[in-house]
């Protein structure tokens, strides 16, 4: 199946005074069209930096130093700034975690939407105003006139996030990257936003990369998942496969550490800490915390292994673990 | 959730701040300049080559001489490195001898001002309500008060009657009285911020006995900002003090950099050295405190960088 | 502007009144205290040759036979009617001369303000964008030097350089003797150049430091990242969004700095022999010319407060978050 976005061997490093932080170190995954692809991991796993790398807005002192990002038959990492600007906002959009900080407090919603529309399309101001109203309707905001006239600080968190999503859709992008869009919101609003995303996927065929650390969200809306740890990918598969038969010990640990309402399960925290990305552990980065680690794990970094035969629906999955064939990971 | 950090050595707040300070170019430069000027100021009166009593005069014929090393052969004659004035003052000696006066007044006024500012800021921020309103009104009055005008007036009316040490004390007090207000407001802001931090709530929940114990929690946190403000306040105090003397409202019985510049202002068209060198000394002094303040600010309030 | 802003404006304007009363009262009582209760005596001691008529006029104006608080209220009453008394030095009514002094001070300060703000913006933007570059370093260095050097000293050095050595600019005064406004505008500008440059330089240092650091913070903010992620041209991101957000604390600061600058007029004006309120103030206190002293304190206090308020209003206008519904 054709992918809308394929990331291959992405490497983004930060050159700081404390050393080189290997925030994203050889990350690969691909996003199928019209799906919600979740990027899951703890903070510090490199999810946000991956998103920034795709759009090429990694802040200094970071730099993407390797890999390819294929989008619409082009390698984004090879494009010049001018061409990238035609991609940003127009083909690929980003929404961020904190809806308060993502909108400029000095301008009204209409100002910002119209600006976004005029930057990403050829519409004139009058047309842009009409489109702004329509966008608000698309994100299911009732009474758009009032919201258009409002300043961000006059809106609730959920409303702001919808406006942010509307703004991201201004240029009719093919791919939306949502970086922890619901983390700053409370649960009921969260559900609405996720519902909205599902709607966008179903009605408009929008592909979404959903970055999150919350497995609950992943279970609710994602079609596929890529699990990341310390700048590396652990495994990548459909949601069903990952949740019911994970192949990587870290995934298992994550699943086991999530409290469940339906069963009495012992809550198990993952022992240890995430590694220092300046000086990561040799071999597999998870091995110090992995209950199944063997000698090889501390010597060699695991390579990409295809495990399509173990995929239920989509027929595709991959994993980065030396022992995935022998381990039978349970997640009762 | 574990947050990402780059692993570091020791963790004490003070050690961390110290390390950051050591990396601050501004801070180190400022500190170096300050140390240098302090040494010069302390030794000044002793190493000054010529006597500089107010009625001093050099040997006849040695008035109004340009810096001697400027005459060819360049850099050979160091008899009067900063030149001499019409009145017979060796500018170099004058600078050496008066440096400590400016430093003492500047630092003294700043310390006095900060003491007041901390008091007002803490009380106002902590107790709130009526106390806060009243204190803030008073503070505002002092902020909008045309300080320089009033200082000039006070100096004119009172300074003539004072002797040496009293004069220094006088200036410390009056300059300090007009420097505390802005700082008080800033400190109060910081106190309010700290007050709302969670750990204060938990202290209260633990039944922290009196405000005194909470003072022990709030004050250290506010201290960082206090230190930074103090350095900058010294800088502004010195500038104020030099301006006062420059306008001729010193008491006439102590020699300071501003006083030297006042005495020679009418002759500056022909005697540029008598204004240049005292001025440069002031600049170095004030710059030192400003840079130090920047360095302290970097060390204690790191900017978001990671 | 929304209605509630006018309410705010009016409240702030009314606020000036108690503040000015406070300031002038403190000044008034301090003068009397320092004069040992008898200002006339020290005036006479200062200048024994003062004509009796002048002394009498002073006594009458200040109503020295009454208790001090009454004296103050009486003075306040006079001032409200714009009666500032008679100058001891010149014998002329103060209200005749004070307005031209005030105007001279004001236009110098305003000119310097405009120059410093106009320059501060592009300089700060440049420094913030090319952070830690050589250019940024130079700018930061010049800024910190600007706030560390006494204003009058910089002025002196410039006078020595441009007036005495190069002879291209005048050494002092607001205009040449035979210059007439507005035909001799060149002359006025030539005289304005140095003092305005000096005031502007000092303030520029302050503004650039603040604005640059605000901009650096803002460039790391989420909405700037969102704008970049949308492909917004950098020009719009910086000048429309970043600057507008950065400018809010700077606006307040500019107001305060203007107030301080006005109050610091004695120093700059003396250096350049600029015939404004500050210059006259220095002369007045040398001669213990109390009516003039009080009048100038009053005027400068009012001017300082007005500039603060104008700035507060600007702030409310700029930042929508502050407009309470």
Residue range A228-277, pLDDT digits in tens: 998 899 999 988 888 888 888 888 888 887 776 666 666 667 777 777 78
Tell me the average pLDDT of chain A: 86
Hey, of A22, A23, A40, A42, which one would you mutate to test binding to chain B, going by the most B CBs within 10 A of its CB? A42
Q: Do A119 and C241 touch (CB under 8 A)?
A: no
Residue A16 to residue B2, Cβ atoms within 8 A: no
A181 contact C CB<8A:
no
Could you say which residues from 301 to 320 on chain C have a Cβ atom under 8 Å away from some Cβ of chain B?
301, 304-305, 308
> For the residues B253-258, what does the mean pLDDT come to?
85
pLDDT in tens, A127-160: 999 999 999 998 888 888 899 999 998 898 888 9
Which residue in the set A96, A106, A116 is minimally distant from C222, CB to CB? Answer: A96
Please give the pLDDT value at position B10.
47
Cα dihedral B233, B234, B235, B238 sign: positive
Enumerate the residues of chain B whose CB falls inside 8 A of the CB of residue A273. 2
Q: Which chain A residues are within 8 Å of C220, Cβ to Cβ? A: 59
Contact yes or no for C182/C247 (Cβ under 8 A): no
User: Does the CB of C318 have a partner CB in chain A at under 8 Å?
Assistant: yes
Residues of A in contact with C214 (CB under 8 A): none
Under a CB-based contact definition with an 8 Å cutoff, are residues C158 and C198 in contact? yes
Show the tokens assigned to C251: 């606006």
Q: Which chain B residues touch C294 with a CB distance below 8 Å?
A: none
Q: How far is CA B210 from CA B121, B198, B206, B214, C307, in A?
A: 19, 18, 12, 7, 43
pLDDT bin (cut points 50, 70, 90) of residue A323 is confident
pLDDT, greater one: B24 or B240: B240
Q: How far is A233 from chain B (nearest CA, A)?
A: 17
Q: Which of residues 220-259 of C touch B (CB under 8 A)?
A: 220, 256, 259
Q: Read off the pLDDT of each residue in C152-179 and give the average, rounded to a whole number.
A: 82
**Cβ contact (<8 Å) for B269 and C164?**
yes
- ipTM passes above 0.95: no
Instruction: Tell me the average pLDDT of chain B.
Output: 82
Report the alpha-carbon distance of residue C28 to residue C37 in Å, rounded: 11
- C31 at B interface, C-beta within 8 A: yes
* DSSP secondary structure of A34-73: T-EEEEE--TTSSHHHHHHHHHT-PPTTEEEEEEEEEETT
pLDDT of residue A50: 93
Task: Give residue-wise pLDDT tens across range A154-195.
Answer: 898 888 999 999 999 998 899 999 999 888 888 888 888 899
Residue A39 confidence (pLDDT)? 93
Chain B residues touching residue C144 (CB < 8 angstroms): 26, 287, 290-291, 294
Structure tokens at A125: 């101001």
Q: Which residue of B has its CA nearest to A62?
A: B306
pLDDT in tens, B216-247: 677 777 888 899 999 999 999 999 999 999 99
Residues contacting residue B301 through CB under 8 Å, at least 6 positions apart? B224, B225, B228
Compute the distance between CA of residue C311 and CA of residue C305 in angstroms, rounded to an integer: 10
Query: Are the beta carbons of A109 and A159 closer than 8 angstroms?
Result: no
C17, burial (CB in 10 Å: exposed 0-12, middle 13-18, buried 19+): exposed
What's the pLDDT at B8? 43
Residues of A in contact with C128 (CB under 8 A): none
Interface partners of chain A (CB pairs < 8 Å, 3 or more) are B, C
Q: Which position has the higher pLDDT, C319 or B306?
A: C319
**B140, B144, B279: residue with CB nearest C150:** B279
Nearest one of A322, A329, A184 to A254, comparing CA atoms: A329
Exposed/middle/buried for residue C165 (C-beta within 10 Å: 0-12, 13-18, 19+)? exposed
Q: Give the pLDDT confidence score for residue A132 in this predicted structure.
A: 92
How many CB contacts within 8 angstroms connect chain B with chain C? 121
* C304: chain B residues, CB-CB within 8 Å: 144, 146
Find the CB nearest C229 among A57, A98, A105. A57
The count of other CB atoms within 10 Å of the CB of residue B227 is 17
Report yes or no: A309 and A229 within 8 Å, Cβ to Cβ: no
Beta-carbon separation of C153 and B149 below 8 A: no
CB contact B9 to A (< 8 Å): no
Interface test with B, best of C156, C201, C257, C270 (most B CBs within 10 A): C156
pLDDT of residue A258: 73
Least CA distance to A213: which residue of chain B?
Answer: B1
> What's residue B7's pLDDT?
41
* DSSP letters spanning B163-193: -HHHHHHHHHHHHHHTTHHHHHHHHHHHHHH
Whole-number pLDDT of residue B5: 43
Of C220, C230, C321, the CB nearest to A120: C230
Q: What is the mean pLDDT of chain C?
A: 84
Contact B303 C159 (CB under 8 A): no
Of B4, B7, B23, the CB nearest to A43: B4
Residue-level pLDDT at C48: 73
> What percentage of chain B reaches a pLDDT higher than 70?
84
Q: Could A43 and B3 be called an inter-chain contact, meaning their C-beta atoms sit closer than 8 Å?
A: yes
Which residues 173-232 on chain B approach chain C with CB closer than 8 angstroms? none
Contact list in C for residue B272 (CB cut-off 8 A) is 160, 164
Q: For C141-149, what is the mean pLDDT?
A: 91
pLDDT tens-digit readout, B42-97:
988 888 777 776 555 565 666 778 887 777 777 777 778 888 888 778 888 889 98
């Amino acid at each position: 199946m054709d992918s809308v976005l394929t990331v291959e061997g992405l490497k983004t490093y930060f050159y700081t005074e404390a050393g080189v932080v290997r925030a994203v170190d050889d990350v690969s995954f691909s996003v199928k069209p019209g799906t919600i692809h979740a990027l899951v991991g703890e903070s510090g796993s490199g999810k946000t930096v991956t998103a920034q790398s795709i759009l090429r807005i990694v802040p200094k002192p970071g730099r993407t130093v390797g890999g390819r990002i294929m989008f619409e038959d082009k390698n984004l990492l090879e494009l010049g700034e001018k061409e990238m600007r035609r991609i940003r906002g127009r083909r690929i959009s980003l929404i961020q975690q904190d809806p308060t900080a993502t909108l400029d407090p000095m301008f009204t919603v209409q100002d910002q939407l119209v600006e976004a529309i005029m930057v990403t399309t050829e519409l004139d101001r009058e047309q842009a105003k009409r489109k702004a109203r329509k966008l608000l309707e698309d994100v299911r905001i009732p009474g758009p006139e009032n919201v258009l006239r409002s300043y961000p600080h006059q809106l609730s968190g959920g409303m702001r996030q919808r406006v942010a999503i509307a703004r991201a859709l201004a240029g009719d992008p093919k791919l939306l990257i949502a970086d922890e869009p619901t983390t700053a919101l409370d649960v009921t609003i969260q559900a609405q936003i996720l519902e909205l995303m599902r709607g966008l996927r179903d009605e408009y065929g929008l592909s979404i990369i959903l970055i999150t650390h919350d497995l609950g969200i992943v279970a609710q809306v994602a079609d596929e998942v890529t699990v990341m740890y310390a700048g590396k990918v652990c495994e990548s598969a459909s949601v069903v496969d990952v949740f019911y038969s994970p192949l990587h010990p870290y995934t298992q640990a994550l699943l086991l550490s999530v409290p469940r309402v339906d069963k009495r399960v012992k809550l198990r925290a993952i022992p240890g800490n995430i590694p220092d990305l300046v000086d990561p552990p040799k071999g597999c980065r998870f091995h110090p915390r992995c209950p199944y680690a063997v000698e090889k794990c501390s010597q060699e970094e695991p390579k990409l292994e295809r495990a399509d035969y173990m995929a239920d629906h989509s027929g595709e999955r991959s994993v980065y673990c030396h022992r995935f064939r022998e381990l039978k990971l349970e997640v009762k | 959730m574990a947050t990402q950090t780059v692993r570091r050595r020791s963790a004490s707040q003070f050690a961390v701040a110290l390390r950051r300070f050591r990396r601050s170019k501004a801070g180190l430069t400022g500190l170096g300049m300050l140390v240098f000027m302090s040494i010069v100021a302390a030794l000044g009166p002793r190493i000054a080559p010529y006597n500089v009593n107010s009625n001093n005069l050099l040997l006849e014929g040695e008035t109004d001489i340009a810096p001697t090393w400027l005459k060819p052969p360049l850099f050979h004659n160091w008899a009067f490195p900063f030149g001499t004035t019409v009145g017979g003052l060796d500018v170099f000696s004058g600078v050496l001898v008066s440096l400590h006066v400016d430093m003492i007044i500047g630092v003294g006024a700043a310390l006095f001002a900060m003491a007041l500012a901390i008091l007002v800021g803490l009380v106002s921020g902590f107790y709130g309500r009526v106390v806060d309103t009243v204190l803030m009104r008073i503070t505002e009055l002092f902020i909008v008060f045309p300080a320089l005008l009033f200082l000039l007036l006070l100096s004119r009316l009172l300074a003539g009657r004072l002797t040496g040490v009293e004069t220094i004390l006088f200036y410390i007090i009056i300059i300090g009285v007009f420097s505390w207000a802005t700082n008080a407001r800033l400190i109060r802001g910081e106190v309010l911020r700290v007050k709302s931090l969670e750990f204060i709530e938990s202290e209260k929940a633990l039944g922290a006995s009196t405000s005194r114990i909470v003072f022990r929690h709030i004050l250290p946190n506010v201290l960082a900002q206090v230190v930074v403000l103090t350095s900058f306040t010294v800088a502004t105090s010195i500038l104020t003090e030099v301006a006062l003397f420059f306008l001729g409202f010193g008491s006439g019985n102590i020699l300071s950099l501003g006083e030297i510049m006042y005495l020679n202002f009418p002759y500056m068209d022909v005697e540029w050295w008598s204004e240049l060198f005292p001025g440069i000394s002031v600049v170095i002094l004030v710059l030192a405190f400003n840079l130090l303040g920047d360095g302290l600010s970097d060390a204690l309030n790191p900017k978001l960088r990671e | 502007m929304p209605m509630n802003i006018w309410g705010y404006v009016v409240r702030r304007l009314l606020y000036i009144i108690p503040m000015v009363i406070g300031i002038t009262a403190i000044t008034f009582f301090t003068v009397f205290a320092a004069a040992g209760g008898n200002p006339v005596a020290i005036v006479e001691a200062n200048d024994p040759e003062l004509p009796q008529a002048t002394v009498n006029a002073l006594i009458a104006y200040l109503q020295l036979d009454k208790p001090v608080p009454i004296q103050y209220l009486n003075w306040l009453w006079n001032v409200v009617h714009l009666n500032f008394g008679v100058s001891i030095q010149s014998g002329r009514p103060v209200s005749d001369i004070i307005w031209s002094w005030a105007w001279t001070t004001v236009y110098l300060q305003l000119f310097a303000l405009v120059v410093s703000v106009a320059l501060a913006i592009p300089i700060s933007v440049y420094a913030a964008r090319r952070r830690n570059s050589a250019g940024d370093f130079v700018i930061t260095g010049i800024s910190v030097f600007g706030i560390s050097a006494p204003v009058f000293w910089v002025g002196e050095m410039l006078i020595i350089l441009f007036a005495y050595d190069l002879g291209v600019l005048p050494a002092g005064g607001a205009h040449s003797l035979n210059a007439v406004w507005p035909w001799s505008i060149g002359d006025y500008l030539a005289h304005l150049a140095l003092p305005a440059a000096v005031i502007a330089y000092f303030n520029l240092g302050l503004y650039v430091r603040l604005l640059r650091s605000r901009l650096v913070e803002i460039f790391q903010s989420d909405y700037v990242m969102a704008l970049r992620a949308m492909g917004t041209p950098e020009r719009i991101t910086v000048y429309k969004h970043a600057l507008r957000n950065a400018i809010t604390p700077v606006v307040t600061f500019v107001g305060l700095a203007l107030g301080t600058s006005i109050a610091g007029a004695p120093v700059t004006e003396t250096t350049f022999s600029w015939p404004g309120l500050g210059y006259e103030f220095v002369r007045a206190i040398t001669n213990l010319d109390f009516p003039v002293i009080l009048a100038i304190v009053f005027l400068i206090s009012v001017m300082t407060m007005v500039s603060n308020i104008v700035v507060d209003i600007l702030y409310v206008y700029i930042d929508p978050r502050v407009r309470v519904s």
